[in-house]
Amino acid sequence: MNDEIRRALDTLFAADSELYANRGFARRIGFGKRPALVNIDLANAWTRPGYAFSCEGMETIIPAVQALLTVFRAKGLPVVYTTTAYDVTDGPNTDMGLWHYKIPAQVLQAGSDTVAIDDRIAPMEGEQLIVKKRASAFHGTYLAGFLRANNVDTVVVTGVTMSACVRNTVEDAIADGFKPIVVREAVDDRIQGAVAWNLFDVDAKFGDVEPLDTVLQHLQCNEA
Q: What strand order describes the sheet that includes 154-160?
A: 128-132, 79-84, 35-40, 154-160, 179-188, 208-210
Q: Element (H or E) spanning 199, and its range?
A: helix 194-205
Catalytic residue among 36, 165, 173, 186: 165
Return d(Cα 129, Cα 214) in angstroms, integer. 26
221 part of the active site: no
Amino acid symbol at 32: G
Return d(Cα 201, Cα 203) in angstroms, integer. 5
Give me the helices (H) in 24-115, please.
Answer: 44-47, 58-74
The catalytic residues are 165
